């Protein structure tokens, strides 16, 4: 069975983009692949989070994972910092990573431009830590967005380089992966681009009914079509994308026909959309609240997941140590 790995930084709550763009695919993957889903708390250190927030945010993401349907009996769910082996592999990969190639990565250049006073070594070597997460489990497939594709190519490069230097076939070259059809791209409500935390245009799974309605009612619209069957501009197309995902086909058809007849009432569309988004989020929100209260359960899931992940990681690191020339762990 092929291995799939995916991680998320604990920098805030999951939003609808995470849920429809990734989580729903993960629920199918856990039935068909050997899956590792982890919370990348070490990756978050590049932005120097407050110590109080690290554990709290980790518990939040873990509760949301479980509330969305990830099953610890089907997939290995763990916290990155509980698996120390990744740091040893990170060091080995860094010894074969070169300054020029790390400086040329788009993610490094973008972050360095946005935060010129915090261009730290962890940011520079982010691709090697990401590669370590993947290669530690000798993963075959990694679900990633387009913004991480260059880092995935770096992971493949590091795998090839290690295998070539030591004339072995230890690491498979991981491939970017989308389960089934292309993953849904969920737009923001500000009229353009995708939904995201940093963009400030997200609807979170934890948002209550009132908050959801407020966000949807503020969505960007125009004055409406003036010609029948007019193409929908991007802000309007975004609203209809939401309708196609969370509403019934009849609801979508009703508003689509109204638009094509130049009879669309955006206020009515937004009210219906807010109701349908809340209907989608409400049961997940309730489960998140219940899981978040049960700290003992969250710790149990994290501990058991770490034990499984470490057993697999230990085997990989021990093989890497011997290949490089170090003795077995004493």
Report, as residue numbers or ranges, the catalytic residues: 111, 194, 197
Number of other residues whose CB lies within 10 A of the CB of residue 127: 24
User: Number of C-alpha atoms within 13 angstroms, CB side, residue 59?
Assistant: 16
- CB within 8 A of 105, min separation 6: which ones? 126, 127, 150, 151, 154
The DSSP code for 194 is: B
Radius of gyration of the chain (CA): 22
Q: Measuring CA to CA, how many Å separate 304 from each of 3, 274, 301?
A: 19, 38, 5
Q: Measuring CA to CA, how many Å separate 163 from each of 60, 154, 166, 169, 172?
A: 38, 14, 6, 5, 9
């Amino acid at each position: 069975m092929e291995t799939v790995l995916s991680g998320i930084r604990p920098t805030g709550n999951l939003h609808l983009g995470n849920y429809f763009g990734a989580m729903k695919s993960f629920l199918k993957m856990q039935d068909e692949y050997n899956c590792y889903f982890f919370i990348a708390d070490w990756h978050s250190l590049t932005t120097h989070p407050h110590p109080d927030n690290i554990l709290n945010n980790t518990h939040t993401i873990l509760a949301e994972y479980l509330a969305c349907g990830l099953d610890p009996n089907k997939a290995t769910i763990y916290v990155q910092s509980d698996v120390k082996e990744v740091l040893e592999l990170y060091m080995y990969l860094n010894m074969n990573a070169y300054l020029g190639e790390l400086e040329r990565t788009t993610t490094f250049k973008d972050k360095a431009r946005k935060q010129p006073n915090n261009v730290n070594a962890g940011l520079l070597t982010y691709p090697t830590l990401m590669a370590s997460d993947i290669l530690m489990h000798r993963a075959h497939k990694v679900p990633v967005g387009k913004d991480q594709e260059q880092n995935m190519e770096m992971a493949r490069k590091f795998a090839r380089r290690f295998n070539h230097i030591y004339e072995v076939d230890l690491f498979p070259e991981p491939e970017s992966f989308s389960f089934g059809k292309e993953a849904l791209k969920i737009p923001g409500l500000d009229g353009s681009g995708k939904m995201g935390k940093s963009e400030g245009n997200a609807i979170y799974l934890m948002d209550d009914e009132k908050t959801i309605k407020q966000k949807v009612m503020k969505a960007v619209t125009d004055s409406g079509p003036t010609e029948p069957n007019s193409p929908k501009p991007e802000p309007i197309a975004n609203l209809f994308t939401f309708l196609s995902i969370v509403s019934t086909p009849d609801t979508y058809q009703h508003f689509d026909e109204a638009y094509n007849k130049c009879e669309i009432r955006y206020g009515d569309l937004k009210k219906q959309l807010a109701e349908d988004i809340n209907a989608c989020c409400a049961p997940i929100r309730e489960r998140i609240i219940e899981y978040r209260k049960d700290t003992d359960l969250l710790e149990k899931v994290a501990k058991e997941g770490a034990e499984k992940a470490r057993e697999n990681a230990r085997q990989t690191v021990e093989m890497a140590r011997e290949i490089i020339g170090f003795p077995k762990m004493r």
